[in-house]
């Protein structure tokens, strides 16, 4: 079977990247975490002191975009890609709460989206890629052969995120995480440009009660169906 493009979109912390990574490893495909790119822009802006108490001047963010160079590198220990911002491995730092608290707002800036979408398309031009985000099936790769729209119960998502952060030694309260998820969901679905929407041809996957193995099986079945000869 020739290589395809798989787009996984959905709400914050519903396990998109876990599933996308497992799927990419299973298929021998590349994995593209589009959210990490928006997180890098946010981290860079925070470090430059351009975001103060959640506020920023759009023009100042646009001005620093040419200074931002992003790339991904496979890490054999974690068996996943690490994100490099100007040659610095920022994989851990971009997952911190100060970045999560500001990334949805930064990702509403038109010029930021233009730069990220162009880079994502470049990275996916040869297919054989699993990418997750908010606008992958609707905007970045509208011709993706398989599009998944993921969702899960808010409390289940909060608990998963809480467990993930705790395991990394980041102690953030359950309520703070839930508030962050809800506000990102709101921002991501209400922004003017490329909001999170279910693409017309996307298949919904509610993973509230599914194990990782069951989710992977679900997708692999869909891929198998794609290859059925046309009757
Ligand atoms: O997937 P994530 O939680 O790491 O994404 C962080 C933020 O980046 C998310 O709240 C919105 C933004 N984002 C986006 O606007 N478009 C994407 N394709 C991916 C992420």
User: DSSP labels for 141-183?
Assistant: -TT-SEEEEEE--HHHHHHHHHHHHHHTT----HHHHHHHHHH
Domain presence at residue 127? yes
Please give the pLDDT value at position 231.
Answer: 38
How many domains is the chain partitioned into structurally? 1
CATH number at 46 reads: 3.40.50.300
What are 141-151's pLDDT values in tens digits?
Answer: 999 999 999 99
Please give the pLDDT value at position 121.
Answer: 98
Domain presence at residue 228? no
Cα gap 12→42, rounded to integer Å: 16
Domain presence at residue 206? yes
CA–centroid distance, residue 38 to ligand 1 (Å):
6
CA–centroid distance, residue 231 to ligand 1 (Å):
39
Domain presence at residue 227? no
Query: Is the confidence at residue 94, as pLDDT, over 50?
Result: yes
CA–centroid distance, residue 50 to ligand 1 (Å):
20
Range(s) of the domain holding residue 119: 5-217
Q: How does 105-137 read in b/e, with b if 16+ C-beta sit within 10 Å?
A: bbbbbeebbebbbebbeebbeebebbbbbbbbb
Please give the pLDDT value at position 230.
Answer: 44
Please give the pLDDT value at position 228.
Answer: 54
Average pLDDT over residues 155-167: 93
Q: For a pocket test of ligand 1, which of 12, 33, 133 has the largest count of ligand atoms closer than 8 A to its C-beta?
A: 133
pTM attached to this predicted model: 0.93
Domain presence at residue 117? yes
Domain presence at residue 193? yes
What are 49-69's pLDDT values in tens digits?
Answer: 999 999 999 999 999 999 999
Domain presence at residue 229? no
Domain presence at residue 226? no
Please give the pLDDT value at position 140.
Answer: 97
Percent of the chain residues topping a pLDDT of 90: 90
Encoded tokens for 70: 């992003």
């Amino acid at each position: 079977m020739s290589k395809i493009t798989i787009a996984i979109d959905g709400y914050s912390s519903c396990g998109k990247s876990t599933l996308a990574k497992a799927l990419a490893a299973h298929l021998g495909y590349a994995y593209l975490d589009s959210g990490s790119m928006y997180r890098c822009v946010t981290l860079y802006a925070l470090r430059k002191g351009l975001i103060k108490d959640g506020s920023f001047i759009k023009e100042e963010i646009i001005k620093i975009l040419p200074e931002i160079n992003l790339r991904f590198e496979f890490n054999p220990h974690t068996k996943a890609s690490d994100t490099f911002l100007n040659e610095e491995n920022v994989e851990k730092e971009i997952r911190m709460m100060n970045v999560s608290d500001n990334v949805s707002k930064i990702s509403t800036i038109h010029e930021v989206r233009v730069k990220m979408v162009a880079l994502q398309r470049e990275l996916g031009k040869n297919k054989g890629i699993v990418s997750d985000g908010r606008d992958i099936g609707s905007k970045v790769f509208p011709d993706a052969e398989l599009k998944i729209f993921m969702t899960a119960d808010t409390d289940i998502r909060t608990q998963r995120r809480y467990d993930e952060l705790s395991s990394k030694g980041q102690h953030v309260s359950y309520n703070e995480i839930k508030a962050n998820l809800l506000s990102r969901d709101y921002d991501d679905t209400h922004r003017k440009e490329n909001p999170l929407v279910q693409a017309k041809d996307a298949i919904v996957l509610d993973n509230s009660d599914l194990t990782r193995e069951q989710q992977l099986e679900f997708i692999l079945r869909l891929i198998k169906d794609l290859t059925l000869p046309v009757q």
